[in-house]
């Protein structure tokens, strides 16, 4: 399968036991899952603010592919965001109970909320080493 051009330079973080998350590193500063039953927040990713993402020579992407992939929990969601003016601060969506099926009727509630924040520290403008070559 060919990789979407917008996702070619995206990264995937796999450290969490329940979810993988993919995004462009110049977009995401943090990604979390908030559980509604107990109010807990699981951090899937947090940018190391001491290491700005090098965007020299490439600029900041205007299109992002964000993927949340469940590990054994039937939750695989991919959203493509076209944001040519960099207007998006964050993106959140609610997830149904993992056992929900559209073929069953019922009062299905959202059980988790995924949020990804678009506040990554990048170079430019936050360059700590002036001679970093373009990646």
Distance between CA 130 and CA 124 in Å, rounded?
10
What are the residue boundaries of the structural domains of the chain, listed by start? 5-123
What is the pLDDT at residue 135? Answer: 55
pTM of the model as a whole: 0.84
| Buried/exposed 90-125: b ≥16 CB within 10 Å, e otherwise | ebeeebeeeeeeeeeeeeeeebbebebbbebbbbee
Residue pLDDT tens, the chain, 135 long: 334 445 578 899 999 999 999 999 999 999 999 999 999 999 999 999 888 998 888 888 899 999 999 998 878 999 999 999 999 999 999 999 888 888 888 888 899 999 999 999 999 888 876 655 555
């Amino acid at each position: 399968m060919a990789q979407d051009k917008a996702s070619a330079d995206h990264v995937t973080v796999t450290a969490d036991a329940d979810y993988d998350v993919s995004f462009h590193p110049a977009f995401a500063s943090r990604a979390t899952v908030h559980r509604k039953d107990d109010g807990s927040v699981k951090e899937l990713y947090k940018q190391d603010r001491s290491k700005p993402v090098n965007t020299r020579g490439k600029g900041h992407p205007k299109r992002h592919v964000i993927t949340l992939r469940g590990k054994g929990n039937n939750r695989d969601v991919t959203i493509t965001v076209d944001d040519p003016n960099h207007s998006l601060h964050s993106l959140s969506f609610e997830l149904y109970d993992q056992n929900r099926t559209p073929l069953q009727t019922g009062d299905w509630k959202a059980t988790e909320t995924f949020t990804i924040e678009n506040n990554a520290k990048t170079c430019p403008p936050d360059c700590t080493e002036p001679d970093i070559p373009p990646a």
